[in-house]
Structure 1
């Protein structure tokens, strides 16, 4: 008749928190809920990098030579769209980068082509008297997110 003491929670057990069950709903209903929200964000790939963007955000990316100031571009690689209350993610398939073409769209306006700050790299060899200074002022393109639209299906 040995009495066992209540087991103390281990460090591993204390780190695990009860997770709330995720609620999944049909995509059309999710889009209607998302469209009713006042402001939206998207997660998009621009020139190979991932950015979380909202309307009127200014985004500085490496120089894009084929764009002119005033051009309006459409962001096509959207992986997530959401608001304060809802999030809609694209399926994790490798070729699928958008929830479905036309459901969520985002456009950006090319505001300016600018240059960054002067970067100085000094190359030198010890005890040889060799010292070389390389200066570089990189080019950047600045974009402004002009619109994010959520278009729920009508049918």
Structure 2
């Protein structure tokens, strides 16, 4: 584990157990026309997942320092691009935890701009050990996860 203090989570869970993280679209996120490049949506979704895990007390650096070490790997992800996001837009990354299934951690994510849906993602991540083998998350992690399971993202 690093000696650096852990930064508090950005964003927050609402009463609906959905984590919301504001992100701004920078010029570096766009193509030559000022529209967000499709691969950059993955970065926004990743930030939302990381900050939602941090907000419920699951930190990547602590997982890496455990013996044996643990990490998360995205196993499957589906994305629907609904509207274009542009430079200087402020987007909200919404992350909803779904019930855990064995080693799989299921999430729904959505990017919105001023209440309009920009992109939607369904994510299946797995907890893996240092050798890359799928492992059922430890009990302490399951207890934190289940506290934030939601009904999903509502329209």
| TM-score relative to the length of structure 2 | 0.25
| Higher helix content, 1 or 2 | 2
| TM-score relative to the length of structure 1 | 0.25
